[in-house]
Amino acid sequence: TQLLEQSPQFLSIQEGENLTVYCNSSSVFSSLQWYRQEPGEGPVLLVTVVTGGEVKKLKRLTFQFGDARKDSSLHITAAQTGDTGLYLCAGDYQAGTALIFGKGTTLSVSS
């Protein structure tokens, strides 16, 4: 059974701080996705990473895929209150199978 471990589970920081959240597995992903979910809404896709070592940037968010394609990280620079939400990673292990989601990191950014 493939598992995706996300850490930390909860994170509470002040506006302007930097943070990193992690997504790890013992299995190799064919691709990995990051989503953000705000209260009362469904998750929204932020990025898909495919190649080992790949780095993608989305404004203040930087996503990295591990060289071995077993782990990923999300780094937020100078967090804002609008970054508050649940961050989920999801791994695609094999074409045609369902995505496996981690339990998420709940981020709270206060002003």
Partner 1 sequence: KAGVTQTPRYLIKTRGQQVTLSCSPISGHRSVSWYQQTPGQGLQFLFEYFSETQRNKGNFPGRFSGRQFSNSRSEMNVSTLELGDSALYLCASSSFGPYNEQFFGPGTRLTVL
Residues interacting with partner 1, by CB under 8 A? 31, 33, 35, 40-45, 48, 50, 88, 90, 92, 95-104
Residue 110 CA, distance from chain mean position: 20
Nearer to partner 1 (CB atom), residue 31 or residue 62: 31
Minimum distance from residue 30 beta carbon to partner 1 (Å) = 8
CB of 49 to partner 1, least distance (A): 9
Q: How many helices (H) and strands (E) does the chain have?
A: 0, 11
Closer to partner 1 by CB, 31 or 84: give it: 31
Answer yes or no: are the C-beta atoms of 7 and 21 closer than 8 Å. yes
- Looking at the Cβ atoms of 41 and 111, the one nearer to partner 1 is 41
Q: What is the nearest approach in angstroms of partner 1 to the Cβ of residue 97?
A: 6
- Cβ 4 vs Cβ 22: under 8 Å: no
User: Are the C-beta atoms of 93 and 2 separated by less than 8 Å?
Assistant: yes
